[in-house]
Amino acid sequence: MLTALIALAAMVLPGAAAAAAEPSVQPGGGAVYVIPVKMKVERGLASFVDRALTEAEEARASLAVLEIDTPGGSLESADRIGKRIRESKVPTIAYVDGKAASAGAYLALNAGGIAMAPGATIGAAMVVDASGNAVESPKTVSFWTSEMVAAAQLNGRDPKIAEGMVDPNRTIEIKELGITKEKGQILSLSAEDARKVGYADAVAGSVDEAIRWRGADASGIVRIEPSLAEKASQALVSPGVSTILLIVGLAGILIELFVPGFGVPGITGIVAFGLYFFGQFVAGFAEAEALVVFLLGILLLVLEMFVPSFGILGILGVAGVATGIGMAAYDTGDALRSLGWAALVALALAAIFAYFFRSRGIWNRFVLREQLTAELGYVPNGPREGWLGKEGVSLSALRPAGVAEFEGDRVDVVTSGEFVEAGRRVRVTAADGTKIVVKEVQI
């Protein structure tokens, strides 16, 4: 008889069968862990939710409540968080106290139950790009639609509603609400409407009320908040900030290499790279090996500036830096694309900086810039046309070059090829800016 009633309830109320099949709370009556999801769904949030659920599991919590109010965010991060929620060893519910839009709706659907505050909304899960424009790629829309449908079916919710939240090109009739979602529209449900169509199991005015609805003790609540490091990491690992850090880091290092002596660009570059790796480490994406490979790449680039290697050290250095950055990131492909753009911008900035401070460039170490001017005590040779016809004495044998004396001045001279012994009389037959030609005077 009981089985028949449960089956009947499953047909009348979507999700009732799933709720009846699983225990409301963890046996043992542990504390209830409340995990706020009140930010964009990004990579840093994934590591925070993972840590919070791990703590709840280790404490043998009776229930984990995801307190959701988010406009959505990265689909990759949503997929990772959704998988972690599904695999949780602690029963989970989502309490939507604002909006569970886009990726936020997906997270809510992955929880074991959904309670919504009056005035809250869920849905509007259309795929958009970074600028907020709709992504029309059939492949992308189809994939995300299937993900939303699969999440909805976890607890027996109507898959057509999930399709209507994602795909604007579908026409869906919602009999429970007496409406039809036309093409060009995206479905978003209020708390009451979500309850009517089975996309909310309860309407609750507070987290405590949602906990009591689920059958847990609301007096033993443990609220998990992101640490200061996690809050910083959430900002640092976002794609835009990561790219800026790479630009500043590369530009600072390049400027310091090509225009040494300032210090500030180099320090700024090191700080930028430090923040990049800090964010990736805290988010759980990077390991120590990534930092080691990166630092080895920087070392090889520095050596390339001072050790002739025909470019081998430079190539290995670039490969080391790129590999280290890619290893540290959540998505290696995204990281390398960001690194490519960052390298172009950084090279442009370094070139501009080096041009304005070219007198201090590293290449000046290889260029002789000493000027042999009269002001510095160097006296150039004077005109030699007046030497023509002068006679003197060879002070050394001319073979054919040697030294001769003319009116008390010792001068380097050269013959036209003939040999002249020392002490012979010689006459200047030609003179220009480079040499004085003499010939022996026959007596």
> What HEC string does the chain produce?
CHHHHHHHHHHHCCCHHHHHHCCCCCCCCCCEEEEEECCCECHHHHHHHHHHHHHHHHCCCCEEEEEEEECCECHHHHHHHHHHHHCCCCCEEEEEEEEEECHHHHHHHHCCCEEECCCCEEECCCCECCCCCECCCHHHHHHHHHHHHHHHHCCCCCHHHHHHHHCCCCCEEECCCCEEECCCCCCEEEHHHHHHCCCCCEECCCHHHHHHHCCCCCCCEEECCCCHHHHHHHHHCCHHHHHHHHHHHHHHHHHHHHCCCCCHHHHHHHHHHHHHHHHHHHCCCCCHHHHHHHHHHHHHHHHHCCCCCCCHHHHHHHHHHHHHHHHHCCCHHHHHHHHHHHHHHHHHHHHHHHHHCHHHCHHHHHCCCCCCCHHHCCCCCCCCHHHCCCEEEECCCECCEEEEEECCEEEEEECCCCCECCCCEEEEEEECCCCEEEEECCC
Let me know: does 410 contact 395? Beta carbons within 8 Å. Answer: yes
**Calpha distance 222→64 (Å, rounded):** 9
Confidence (pLDDT) at 262: 58
Topology annotation, domain 374-440: OB fold (Dihydrolipoamide Acetyltransferase, E2P) (2.40.50)
Mean pLDDT score across all residues of the chain = 82
Let me know: does 194 contact 68? Beta carbons within 8 Å. Answer: no
**Calpha distance 261→90 (Å, rounded):** 57
Let me know: does 215 contact 27? Beta carbons within 8 Å. Answer: no
Asked whether the predicted pLDDT for residue 192 surpasses 50, the reply is yes
Residue 371 amino acid letter: Q
β-pair partners for 277? none
Categorize the per-residue pLDDT at 106 as very low, low, confident or very high, splitting at 50, 70 and 90: very high
What would the pLDDT profile of 235-270 be if each residue is shown by its tens digit? 787 778 888 988 888 888 888 777 765 578 888 888
**Calpha distance 241→231 (Å, rounded):** 14
- Mean pLDDT for 406-411 is 87
What would the pLDDT profile of 270-315 be if each residue is shown by its tens digit? 899 889 888 887 777 777 888 899 889 888 877 877 787 777 888 8
**Calpha distance 205→126 (Å, rounded):** 28
Categorize the per-residue pLDDT at 77 as very low, low, confident or very high, splitting at 50, 70 and 90: confident
Higher pLDDT, residue 83 or 45:
83
Residue located via tokens 């964009």? 40
Categorize the per-residue pLDDT at 199 as very low, low, confident or very high, splitting at 50, 70 and 90: very high
The pTM of this model reads 0.63
Higher pLDDT, residue 223 or 9:
223
Categorize the per-residue pLDDT at 60 as very low, low, confident or very high, splitting at 50, 70 and 90: very high
Residues in the chain: 443
In 3D space, the residue among 155, 172, 146 whose CA is nearest the CA of residue 109 turns out to be 155
The CA dihedral of 185, 167, 162, 44, to the nearest 10 degrees, is -110
Cβ neighbours for 326, distance < 8 A, ≥ 6 positions apart: 332, 335, 336, 339
Residue 223 amino acid letter: R
Asked whether the predicted pLDDT for residue 175 surpasses 70, the reply is yes
What would the pLDDT profile of 344-403 be if each residue is shown by its tens digit? 888 888 788 777 776 555 444 444 455 555 555 544 555 666 788 899 999 999 989 999
- Mean pLDDT for 9-27 is 40
Is the preceding omega at residue 400 within 30 degrees of 0, hence cis? yes
Confidence (pLDDT) at 330: 67
Spell out the domain ranges in the chain.
30-226, 229-358, 374-440
User: Among positive and negative, which fits the CA dihedral 275, 281, 287, 288?
Assistant: positive
Cβ neighbours for 344, distance < 8 A, ≥ 6 positions apart: none
Higher pLDDT, residue 17 or 219:
219
Residue 123 amino acid letter: G
Confidence (pLDDT) at 288: 84
- Mean pLDDT for 32-36 is 95
**Calpha distance 357→123 (Å, rounded):** 56
30-226 belongs to CATH 3.90.226.10:
yes
β-pair partners for 431? 436
Confidence (pLDDT) at 348: 87
Categorize the per-residue pLDDT at 58 as very low, low, confident or very high, splitting at 50, 70 and 90: very high
Residue 52 amino acid letter: A
Separation of CA 55 from chain center: 29
